């Protein structure tokens, strides 16, 4: 959709002044983008993206939820497909409420998951009802 | 391919200790990754990634070539598909030599291209012989 996106913030990287267009966005600009629930609650911010090397697709957005639940900073990987960008809010919108968030796969700082075998990724995809990237034949 | 990737460097982000696995890599870790020619010349480093919002794919890696050609720092967007990761070198390998690099679409710091209309992106894709993301129907 030719949505009008918010204009680029001041560039942090020389030469990257046009970090966002209607169809492209710089990965470096996604960092720190807020995430909202459909109801408009600010849930956290995007910490980093996990890329699937084979397909070149963004597989997960890792969001930090900075202790607003009173349980310290936690990291929630969300399948990229569950995030919708909302130009009006200047952030991503996901279908989750706090209950769903509580039950979602997450980890604390200092205890990162083992993505290697695919089991953890499948658990994430299953939870969010996302089409899994961890098909047959992947390690 | 189940290539053995280099082990993760010290994490810069808490909770992101496992930034790379055989199949996934954190976008934040791609920043600064060296790019080599097939002959092994160090050509530059990845400055940022441009993501296609619609498909969720990495569209371009923007590489900075830090003045080693004597023309100051320049930014070359390369279609993601032309980069191969080489675990032995710990960097990406592209089919380019300096002549090809000289002629490639690029811009200087402070004069970022206009990705908006797709013309510039098509020019990049054409140059590198990459399948274009700027098909019919895109703005």
Buried b (16+ CB within 10 A) or exposed e, A48-69: bbbbbbeebbbbbbbbbbeeee
**B17 at interface of A, judged by CB pairs closer than 8 A:** yes
**A48 at interface of B, judged by CB pairs closer than 8 A:** yes
Contact list, B112 vs chain A (CB under 8 Å): 11, 15-18
Contact list, A26 vs chain B (CB under 8 Å): 48-51, 62
Phi, psi of B22 (to 5 degrees): -55, -25
Q: Where are the beta strands (DSSP E) in chain A?
A: 24-26, 34-37, 42-52, 57-66, 73-79, 84-86, 91-94, 107-108
**B10 at interface of A, judged by CB pairs closer than 8 A:** no
Contact list, B50 vs chain A (CB under 8 Å): 24-27
Domain A27-128: assigned CATH number: 2.30.30.240
Taking CA atoms, A7 is separated from A22, A34, A62, in Å, by: 10, 16, 24
- Please give the pLDDT value at position B71: 53
- Per-residue pLDDT tens digits of chain B, which is 139 residues long: 444 444 434 333 444 445 777 788 888 888 889 999 999 988 889 989 999 887 888 999 999 876 654 456 789 999 998 998 888 888 999 988 777 877 889 988 777 788 887 888 999 999 988 888 786 434 3
CA of A58 to nearest chain B CA: how many angstroms apart? Answer: 5
Domain boundaries, chain A: 27-128
What is the C-alpha separation between B93 and B82, in angstroms, rounded? 8
pTM for this structure? Answer: 0.74
CA of A45 to nearest chain B CA: how many angstroms apart? Answer: 13
Q: Report yes or no: A43 and A94 within 8 Å, Cβ to Cβ.
A: yes
- Per-residue pLDDT tens digits of chain A, which is 139 residues long: 444 444 434 333 444 445 777 788 888 888 889 999 999 988 889 989 999 887 788 999 999 876 554 456 788 999 998 998 888 888 999 988 777 877 889 988 777 788 877 888 999 999 988 888 776 434 3
- 8 Å CB contact of B81 and A30: no
**B80 at interface of A, judged by CB pairs closer than 8 A:** yes
- Please give the pLDDT value at position B139: 37
H-assigned helices in A39-88: none
Cβ-Cβ pairs closer than 8 A, A with B, add up to 161
Q: Which of B16, B57, B138 sits opposite A112 (nearest CB)?
A: B16
**B33 at interface of A, judged by CB pairs closer than 8 A:** no
**A130 at interface of B, judged by CB pairs closer than 8 A:** no
N-to-C CA span, chain B: 35
- Please give the pLDDT value at position B78: 93
**B131 at interface of A, judged by CB pairs closer than 8 A:** no
């Amino acid at each position: 959709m030719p949505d009008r996106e918010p204009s680029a913030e001041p560039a942090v990287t020389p030469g990257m002044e046009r970090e966002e267009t209607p169809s492209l966005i710089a990965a470096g600009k996604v960092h720190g983008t807020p995430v909202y629930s459909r109801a408009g609650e600010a849930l956290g911010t995007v910490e980093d993206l996990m890329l699937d090397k084979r397909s070149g697709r963004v597989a997960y957005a890792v969001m930090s939820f900075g202790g607003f639940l009173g349980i310290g900073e936690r990291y929630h990987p969300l399948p990229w497909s569950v995030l919708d960008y909302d130009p009006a809010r200047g952030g991503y919108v996901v279908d989750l409420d706090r209950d769903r968030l509580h039950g979602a796969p997450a980890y604390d700082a200092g205890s990162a998951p083992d993505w290697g075998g695919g089991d953890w990724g499948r658990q994430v995809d299953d939870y969010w009802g996302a089409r899994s990237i961890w098909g047959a034949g992947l390690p």
